[in-house]
Amino acid sequence: MRTLRFLLEKEFRQILRNRQLLRTLLIAPLIQLILLPLAADYSVKNISLVVVDNDHSPFSQKLIAKITASGHFRLTGYTASYKEALQMVEQDKADIALQIPIHFERDLVRENTKQVYMAVNAIEGTKANLGSTYLNSIISDYNTDIRLRWQSIPSAPTTANTSSTPTTPTPGAATSPTPIVAATSSTPTISTSSSNWYNPYMNFKLYMVPAILVVLITAMTAMQSAFNIVQEKESGTIEQINVTPIKKHIFIIGKMIPFLVLGLILFTLGLLVGWIFYGIIPIGSLLVLYASLLVYLFAMLGLGLLLATYSGTQQQAMSLAFFFINIFNMMSGVFTAVDSMPGWAQAIVSTFPPSHFIKIMRMVVLKGSGFADIIYPLTAMAAIGLFLNTWAVLNYRKTT
């Protein structure tokens, strides 16, 4: 026990003496935490639209006006031919090309049906999805409008329904589209009333800030712990420690605790930043958050330790850690949802501690989940942490 105390004293002194390092470890992540969630916005606004109107009739003009009035789209082009419109999509000047064919109004009235053509740049799935859905629902609304107007004769009009309006991100908990139901409708209609729970203002920052904080902590803890030990290996001081009667596990605990403390400090500062700059106050209990944080740090420091046992030079440690961190960052559900992945990928992701911790963070901060709710990710993290740490301790040899 005494040896542990002395070890810890040495470690903390070394860290505190290295001012440049402290700055990189604490200040850089916080600055990134402040600036980067501003960039992390998946909401789809200002979809650029190019329109080809071959009909030039009141119907087509009204449709175009309705589309541009919706606020989702920005009319960036009004070309004479479909070919030109497609060129604009090629050049990234427009995301969607809409063509209203000739005789649009005439055929709608006479033959009761007419097509309109949409070409969507589908490289980015979310934008394509949402863009086409919005456009479809606006066209459907417009359809209903002209039908009603065309048939606004005193006899019972046929039904109309607008349950197709998408839940546009408007503030307020419930957005219920009121159906335009005629007084005596011959066909019944179902309408939906939708509400958004836990994030009524559809604020992306609430979703991204906890995740970005986890990303920053991951990078810091895994890399730093690996680096620290390997630095000793490179400079030769580890030889001196190895010849002392110090026990393996005391040495390892002595190395891990300072970074555990640093991780806790960074997390606390991160929560403060989230509160001050983004107004994010965790709904769940802080106890749950910190307990999960401890388990998570245990797992990540174990990983760093493991990597250190396999590295001879700092460059190697860096390469290995970078490999894992990069994969963690992309696959742990920070930027894309884990649920969208195929089964085998989800299985792989479940072995990553960050994916569990990000899930826990989002659940506790946004929904107020308690210990009972997070028991599965928590135990998963603990199990992985135990595995990594045991492997690392077994692998570490005092004698080379």
Partner 1 sequence: MRQLLTFIRKEFLHVFRDRKTLLMLFGLPIAQIVLFGFALSNEIKDSRIAVVDYSKDPVTTHIISKIAASDYFDIQRSLASADQLQTAFKKGNIKLAVIFPSGFGDDLMHTGNATMQVIADASDPNQATTITNYMNQIINDYNAELAKDAHQPMQIVPELQMLYNPELRGAPNFVPGVMALVLMLVCTMMTSVAIVKEKELGTMEILLVSPFKPIYIIIAKLAPNLLISVLNLFIILLLSYLFLDLPVKGSLLLLVTCSILFILTSLSIGLLLSISAKTQQAAMMGSLMGMMLPTMLLTGFLFPIENMPLALQVLSNIVPSRWYFIIVKRVMLKGLGLTSVWKEMSILSGMCLLLFAISLRKFKIRLQ
Residue bearing tokens 């740049």: 121
Dist. CA 36–CA 30, nearest whole Å: 10
Residue 50 phi/psi, 5° resolution? Answer: -120, 135
Helix (H, G, I), strand (E, B) or coil at 76: strand
Residue closer to partner 1 (CB basis): 21 or 246: 21
339-358 positions binding partner 1, by CB under 8 A? 339-342, 345, 348-349
Specify whether the CB–CB gap between 38 and 63 falls below 8 A: no
Which is nearer to partner 1, 176 or 268 (by Cβ)?
A: 176
Binding residue count for partner 1, defined by CB under 8 A? 135
Site for partner 1 contains 379 (CB under 8 A): no
- Of 225, 292, 311, 389, the residue at the interface with partner 1 (CB under 8 A) is 311
Residue 72 · residue 45 · CB < 8 Å: yes
- Residue 105, CB half-sphere, CA atoms under 13 Å: how many? 13
Rounded to the nearest 10°, the torsion over CA 286, 291, 294, 299 is: -130
Candidate ranges 1-9, 216-224, 294-302, 387-395; the one touching partner 1 (CB under 8 A): 216-224
Structure tokens at 379: 């135990």
Candidates 8-16, 23-31, 65-73, 244-252 — which segment interacts with partner 1 by CB under 8 A?
A: 23-31
Could you say which of 143, 242, 285, 350 contacts partner 1 (CB under 8 A)?
143
- 336 lies in the binding site for partner 1 (CB under 8 A): yes
The answer to the question of residue 306 lying near partner 1 (CB under 8 A) is no
Q: At what angle do helices 286-310 and 353-362 cross, to 10 degrees?
A: 170
Our finding on whether 156 is near partner 1 (CB under 8 A) is no
Distance of alpha carbon 42 from alpha carbon 124, whole angstroms: 11
- Cβ 351 to partner 1, closest distance in Å? 13
Number of Cβ atoms within 10 Å of the Cβ of 388? 21
Q: Per-residue x/- marks for partner 1, 258-277, CB under 8 A?
A: --------------------
* Range 170-199, binding partner 1 (CB under 8 A): 176, 179, 181, 184-199
Name the segment binding partner 1 (CB under 8 A); options: 76-84, 242-250, 296-304, 363-371. Answer: 363-371
Handedness of CA 143, 144, 149, 150 (dihedral sign): positive
66 forms part of the interface with partner 1 (CB under 8 A): no
Q: Does 395 bind partner 1 (CB under 8 A)?
A: no
Position among 52, 64, 89, 229 found at the interface with partner 1 (CB under 8 A): 89
Q: How many CB atoms lie within 10 A of CB 62?
A: 14
